[in-house]
DNA sequence: TTGAAAGCGCTAACAG
DNA sequence: CTGTTAGCGCTTTCAA
């Protein structure tokens, strides 16, 4: 059994004393390179048993201080409040552990200051990599890391100074729009343009999706009204407000919509409910994002699910094998049709 | 500007040399206790400027090795795939940072082995606290931590060897059941018992909720069928399968349900869709959990939202001020009525 | 086969 | 007001 109340944690010196040997022998055994040091197998066994009994845990701070590589990998992520980022984090943790890395993840709530604050903190912990997910200012994080000789990498939103892995937003949005337009035409009996809502106009993903949205309309020879592109931000209330304002200004709102994230969809759904605008006929929707409940919410919704496993495979491929700093990898998203 | 390619990171010795002073002065200044050491303010300023210019970041491994307290706080969490755990993690990170602690969070996918593996890893990193959230075997984590003199604490699911903060499952479930029963009676014109579905029968929360469920029925003098309590597990497919089996066995399924989590609800909704069992009349639902889209899913759903901010306030109150090891704090959840 | 010893970067006495 | 010094626990040469 272990000490009742350990005032001080067990060290390799304690173990060495108990085993009647030296700290270096203990270290070698515990690190598994004792055949290299040709340590007696009975000694090795004794040390292992003792460590077990004492509940010994290596002091990583000391170990890492001495080593050259920390094997720590950091990720910053904007929010934990949707399935997309949730599965990014979960997959990241898994894949990191699989290759013997210790993942540390922190959430920066879309705040640029917090982003660099978090990155700085990670640098203090000697991370070997920083993955910036959906960062508002990824290049700033890259600069900060580069100054300490730490590599970084962008996920979800691209940067210009480090390799980036993102969804193929243009192609995904174009195909999603095409599907929704067809759906809509089938229902209405005639062609009709959609409303685009959600996201930040300034971010790369949103602007690519707008381009895809416009391309699909153009291919089907449908004219989009420029003021029907509402890149109002990500928060639910923003979408809600934008729709209210549009309805007020124009007296009506398009019957079909391209919603730029489940977060925005939350606001859109709330507004649809309250406004009573679609009491006679349900809107035709497309959402560039996925959520299991949304799939059940209505029949006329098409969703695009970003391919998180493929995205993270790319991320770790870069970590394992390297990549040009400027490379931009675009992963095709997956289409989900509601049941 | 900083060195093009730093082969070695800037240390306090580099800074000391540049400033023409000693490492201890640099350390004191950078740690903010230079008034204590009465260091000249011009020197202090110079050091600060230099550190800034060089992009200096303290080496935490070295710093922590020397210090007595690590200021690191760990949390293990089962999944990142729902709003409840997502907001727990986000709130935890915030509150930890607010008091100068460094949070490390890891997801253990409801796997008892991973739970203790993760706890062991955190101990190596010298965490001061481990918060076990929804752990399958919290007492094992507590034992492991105790052996290294590290304090721990349970969240969401209670343990017997460390303080626990959980929702008031009994009262919450009783009130939720009461509301759904009333709703149901109003709709049907007569009293009718509900089906309980989801969760593990062996976990504390589920069994308390079942008790509350039964109590509400008893108070309204409604008899529940024992085989209408389906604690089939948390995965969506489990709920789906359990409903299929019940329908097969009995030819019908109750018109009202108490669903034990949004995860289970996912399966329930899928089954409802596919089975066509409720084509004429919509089911009356209650869900012990909250999700913004579920609120929009149907009119007849009552939800219970666990009070995450209050739960984490309790957690940090214990961390700040201590608590009896055996204390069990139950936080009343909040009722959400769909719009 | 094994142990002694140096030193990772930092903090905190202690000695000026 | 400031510098010197002794470790924190561990890994890794190097010498035996």
Q: DSSP letters along B160-203, please?
A: SSS-EEEE-HHHHHHHHHHHHHHHHHHHHSS--PPEEE-EETTS
Q: What does the pLDDT read at residue B20?
A: 87
Contact A291 B293 (CB under 8 A): yes
pLDDT, average across residues B196-203: 94
Q: What does the pLDDT read at residue A5?
A: 46
pLDDT, average across residues B259-268: 94
Cα B311 to Cα A97, B77, B90, B151, B335, distances in angstroms: 30, 15, 13, 18, 16
Q: C-alpha A307: how far from its chain's center?
A: 11
pLDDT digits (tens, 9 = 90+) for A136-187: 999 999 999 999 999 999 999 999 999 999 999 999 999 999 999 998 999 8
Length of chain A counted residue by residue: 339
Any idea which of B19-28, B86-95, B162-171, B172-181 has the lowest mean pLDDT? B19-28
pLDDT, average across residues B86-95: 97
How many CB atoms are closer than 10 A to CB A136? 19
Any idea which of A40-44, B75-79, B128-132 has the lowest mean pLDDT? A40-44
Task: Round to a whole number and report the distance in Å from the CA of A59 to the C1' of D13.
Answer: 21
Shortest CB distance from B125 goes to which of A60, A236, A265?
Answer: A60
Residue A168 CB partners (closer than 8 Å, separation 6+): A330, A331, A332, A333
Contacts of A62 in chain B (CB under 8 A): 61, 65
Domain ranges in chain B with CATH number 1.10.260: 12-58
Q: Token pair for residue B24?
A: 């201890």
Fold of A72-162: Rossmann fold (3.40.50)
- Residue B233: φ, ψ to 5°: 110, 180
Residue A153, classed as helix, strand or coil, is strand
pLDDT digits (tens, 9 = 90+) for B137-180: 999 999 999 999 999 999 999 999 999 999 999 999 999 999 99
Q: Token pair for residue A77?
A: 């992520």
**Helix B236-250 to helix B262-275 angle, to the nearest 10 degrees?**
40
Q: What does the pLDDT read at residue B246?
A: 93
Q: What is the dihedral of CA A287, A288, A294, A295, to 10 degrees?
A: 90
Residue A8 CB partners (closer than 8 Å, separation 6+): none
Contact A296 B297 (CB under 8 A): yes
Helix (H) or strand (E) holding A44: helix A41-54
Q: Token pair for residue A115?
A: 């982003």
Contacts of A60 in chain B (CB under 8 A): 61, 124-126
Cα B310 to Cα A200, B88, B133, distances in angstroms: 32, 11, 15
Instruction: Give the DSSP letter of residue B228.
Output: G
Global pTM exceeds 0.85: yes
**At which residue do the structure tokens 């309590």 appear?**
B229
Cβ pair A198, A259 in contact under 8 A: yes
Cα B141 to Cα B96, B118, B147, distances in angstroms: 21, 9, 10
Q: Token pair for residue A18?
A: 């108990």
- Among all residues of chain B, which has the CA nearest to that of A68? B8
Helix (H) or strand (E) holding B211: helix B204-219
The segments of chain A whose pLDDT lies below 70 read 1-7, 34-36, 338-339
Residues whose beta carbon sits under 7 Å from strand C: A 20-25, 37-40, 43, 62, 65-66; B 8-9, 11-13, 23-24, 27-28, 30-31, 33, 58-59, 62-63, 65-67
Instruction: Give the DSSP letter of residue B76.
Output: E
Task: Round to a whole number and report the distance in Å from the CA of A151 to the C1' of D14.
Answer: 34
**pLDDT, averaged across chain B:** 91
- Round to whole Å and give the CA distance between A261 and A277: 21
Nearest to A321 by CA among A163, A175, A182, A211: A163
Task: Choose between B294 and A168: higher pLDDT.
Answer: A168
- Round to whole Å and give the CA distance between B320 and A289: 40
Domain ranges in chain A with CATH number 3.40.50.2300: 72-162, 169-305
Cβ pair B332, B171 in contact under 8 A: yes
- Round to whole Å and give the CA distance between B105 and A76: 12
Q: Does the pLDDT of residue B5 top 70, yes or no?
A: no
Question: CATH code for B12-58?
Answer: 1.10.260
Cβ pair B268, B277 in contact under 8 A: no
Contacts of B69 in chain A (CB under 8 A): none
Any idea which of B24-38, B112-126, B165-179 has the lowest mean pLDDT? B24-38
Cβ pair A192, A184 in contact under 8 A: yes
Q: What does the pLDDT read at residue B305?
A: 97
* CATH (one of 3.40.50.720, 3.30.479.10, 3.40.50.2300, 3.40.50.180) for A169-305: 3.40.50.2300
Task: Choose between B7 and B138: higher pLDDT.
Answer: B138
Nearest to B92 by CA among B102, B107, B83: B102
Q: What does the pLDDT read at residue A85?
A: 97
pLDDT digits (tens, 9 = 90+) for B183-197: 999 988 999 999 999
- Round to whole Å and give the CA distance between B180 and B117: 41
Q: What is the dihedral of CA A20, A25, A30, A36, to 10 degrees?
A: -140
Nearest to B205 by CA among B134, B299, B113: B134
Which residues of A10-155 form beta strands (DSSP E)? Answer: 72-77, 102-107, 129-133, 151-155
**At which residue do the structure tokens 């059941």 appear?**
B177
Minimum-distance nucleotide, CA of B22 to C1': D3
Q: Token pair for residue B235?
A: 């995965």
């Amino acid at each position: 059994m272990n000490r009742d109340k350990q005032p001080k944690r067990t060290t390799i010196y304690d173990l060495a004393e108990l085993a009647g040997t030296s700290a270096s022998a203990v270290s070698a055994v515990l690190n598994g390179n004792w055949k290299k040091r040709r340590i007696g197998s009975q000694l090795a066994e004794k040390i292992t048993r003792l460590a077990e009994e004492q509940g010994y845990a290596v002091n990583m701070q000391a170990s890492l201080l001495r080593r050259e590589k920390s094997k720590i990998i950091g990720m910053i992520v904007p929010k934990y409040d949707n399935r997309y980022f949730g599965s990014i984090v979960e997959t990241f943790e898994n894949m990191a552990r699989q290759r013997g890395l210790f993942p540390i993840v922190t959430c920066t709530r879309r705040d640029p200051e917090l982003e660099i604050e978090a990155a700085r903190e990670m640098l203090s912990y000697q991370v070997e990599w920083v993955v910036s997910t959906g960062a508002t200012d990824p290049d700033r994080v890259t600069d900060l890391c580069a100054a300490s000789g730490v590599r970084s990498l962008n996920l979800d939103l691209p940067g210009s100074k480090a390799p980036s892995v993102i969804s193929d937003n243009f192609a995904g949005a174009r195909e999603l729009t095409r599907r929704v337009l067809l759906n809509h035409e089938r229902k209405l009996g005639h062609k009709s343009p959609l409303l685009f809502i959600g996201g930040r106009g300034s971010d790369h993903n949103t602007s690519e999706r707008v381009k895809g949205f416009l391309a699909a309309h153009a291919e089907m020879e449908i004219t989009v009204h420029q003021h029907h592109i509402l890149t109002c931000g990500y928060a639910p209330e923003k979408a809600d407000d934008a729709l209210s304002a549009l309805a007020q200004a124009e007296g009506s709102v398009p019957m079909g919509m391209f919603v730029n994230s489940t977060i925005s969809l939350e606001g859109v759904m709330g507004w649809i409910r309250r406004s009573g605008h679609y009491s006679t006929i349900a809107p035709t929707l497309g959402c560039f994002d996925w959520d299991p409940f949304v799939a059940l919410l209505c029949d006329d919704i098409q969703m695009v699910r970003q391919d998180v496993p493929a995205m993270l495979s790319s991320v770790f491929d870069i970590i394992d094998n390297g990549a040009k700093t400027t490379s931009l990898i675009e992963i095709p998203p997956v289409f989900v049709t509601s049941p």
